[in-house]
Each structure stands twice: as C-alpha cells, then as structure tokens.
A and B are shown apart, each in its own frame.
Chain A
Amino acid sequence: MKGLYDNEMKLEFLSKSSNEAFARITVAAFVSQLDPTIEEISDIKTAVSEAVTNCIIHAYEDTDGIVKIVTRLIGNTVEIEISDSGKGIENIELARRPLYTTKANLERSGMGFTIMESFMDEVEISSVVGIGTKIIMKKKIKKIENTTDIKEECCSKTIV
C-alpha cells in the first residue's frame, strides 16, 4: 500500500550551534528533488535556520537537548516539522510579533518568526511550557511555467 506521504525524512541532532548549518543544508538537499528555484531553496534554508536556532538558544538555552526535524514532500508541497523538548513558549501570540525577543542581551533581533512566516506559506506553532515546542511550516514549490527561466537554465547547462 502506498504511504500517506510521497516522501519523508527524519533528522535528530544535539542542540549545538554548529548543527545550524548542517540542518538547513540537509533539508535543502532533500527538498531539491522537487526542483525548487534558487529563491525557494534559500527561503527554506533561512526558515529552517531560524527554527533550529530557536530550539538551541531559547528552548534549551545552550544546554544539551535533542532537536528533531521531519520533512515531508506531499505532491508539490514541502512540510517541515521542527520540534524540541525544551522550556516552551509562554505566549505564542507575543512571540510571533516582529521585534519581540526575550534575549535582546544576545543581540537577537526578534525577527525569527516574522522571517519564517514571510518566507513560508504557512507556519503553525504549538507549545507547552516545560514540555516543548513544535513548529510546522509549509511551502508550495511552484512549477516553472515561465519560459525564460527554462531557457536560462538550459543555456547555462549547455555552457557548462
């Protein structure tokens, strides 16, 4: 029987800041099978980087914990679930606001959720204080219809 998802991958790693690049690059590599544009890929990398960084600095506050990522490809849509079992968010509505940060002393800009929301089509946040936080983000990868895009791609490939 065919599964519910067209494709799926799972990733678990320690909440070390050196894993931020690893996480976004790995998700981007998995998503690349949908043929996203450069812009779509960099939007996804940025959103993943924001969510993973939040697990590391806010959820676990630099103690060791596990960050989990599940990425699903459903048709043309990418669904990325990023979760932690850290301290949780007290007020989600407040946390979503642009410029809101509880770590201004660390030069955080409070723009993480704003970036996730504007770079992805949908962002769902669920959190329980003392239990953890889960972010589900979705983005539809658009099929290239613009012929100039296709031409550019084919030409650059011929040159190489």
Chain B
Amino acid sequence: MNSEYKSLDKLLILKITEEIDHHTTEKIRRKMDNEITRYMPRKVLFDFNEVSFMDSAGIGLIIGRYKVAKLFGGEVEIANARPSVKKVLEMSGITRIIKINDGIRIAN
C-alpha cells in the first residue's frame, strides 16, 4: 500500500497494491490507520487500480476505515475498482454509504 496526502484539499489517497484477503488485510489495516490518524483527512480515497483480487475481508477493511475516518470528520471514496472487485463491493451494500468512482484520474 502506498499513500499520498494532498494538504490543500485535505485529501488522503491510499493506493492498495496487493490482493485483499484475510491474510493481507492486517498489514494494510495497520498502515491505513496510521495514515488516517496522522493526517485526519477530510477525504480518504482508496485507489483500487492495482487490486486484482478482493474477497469479503475487503468489505470489513473498508467499513472499518470508514469508521476511523469518520471519527475525524472525514468521508471515504473508492476509485478504479475493476468489475470482479466491484461485484464484491456491490454485494455488501457498502455502496450505499461509500461512493464508488469510475475512472478517476489521480493527478500527481
């Protein structure tokens, strides 16, 4: 996982670079929580561009981070999820509380 903070917009971009399952989430979760509590962003954007696999562990991961971000008054958004990942996200119903953006270009 990589992260990037844009202080002007108070935007924290968390780019996940591994497959998301029960095995990988623990490490990802720790890193994400570090970044969120450090920056207290207004918005956390999960960039899923490089996520080739996700099972229900990812749902728990995202809902958990949504709660952490909310503690600091931040919202959460998901970008660039491929169809197989989107299918799992949509099943879970979290798309009702978390916006999923298609084809967001993340400027450097």
In contact, B21 and A115 (Cβ under 8 angstroms): no
Partner of A107, one of B55, B60, B83: B60
Contacts of A63 in B (CB 8 A): none
Most central of B57, B61, B63, B83 by chain A CB within 10 Å: B57
Q: In the assembled complex, which residues on chain B have CB atoms less than 8 Å from the CB atom of A43? A: 84
Q: Which of A20, A21, A46 contacts B84 (CB 8 A)?
A: A46
- Contacts A39-B84, A109-B92; A115 near B56 (Cβ below 8 A): yes
Closest to B64 in A: A107
The yes or no answer to B31 lying at the interface (CB within 8 A) is no
Contacts of A57 in B (CB 8 A): 22
Are A53 and B53 also in contact (CB < 8 A) when A20-B22, A46-B84, A46-B88 are?
A: no
**How far is B61's CA from A106's CA once the two chains are assembled, in angstroms?**
10
Residue of A nearest to B83 (CB): A39
Q: Closest A residue to B85 by CB, please name it.
A: A42
B48 to chain A minimum Cβ distance, whole angstroms, is 14
A97 contacts partner chain B, Cβ-Cβ < 8 Å: no
Residues in B47-94 with C-beta less than 8 Å from chain A = 53-57, 59-61, 63-64, 83-84, 88, 91-92
Q: Which residues in A have their C-beta under 8 angstroms from that of B22?
A: 17, 20, 53, 56-57
Closest CB in chain B relative to A120 CB, distance in Å: 13
| B29 on interface, CB distance cutoff 8 Å | yes
Cβ of B19 < 8 Å from any Cβ of A?
A: yes
Nearest-Cβ distance from residue A116 to partner chain B, whole angstroms: 10
| Residue in contact with B21 in the complex, picked from A20, A42, A108, A109, CB distance below 8 Å | A20
| Chain A, 115-156, CB within 8 A of any chain B CB | 115, 118
Q: Is A18 an interface residue (CB 8 A)?
A: yes
CB of B23 closer than 8 Å to a CB of A: yes
Looking at the assembled complex, report how far the CB atom of A102 sits from the nearest CB atom of chain B, in whole angstroms.
Answer: 13
- What are the residues of chain B within 8 A of A49 when measuring CB–CB? 21, 53, 55
Which A residues lie within 8 Å of B63 (CB)? 107, 109
Q: Are B59 and A109 in contact (CB under 8 A)?
A: yes
Interface pair A107/B29, CB less than 8 Å apart: yes
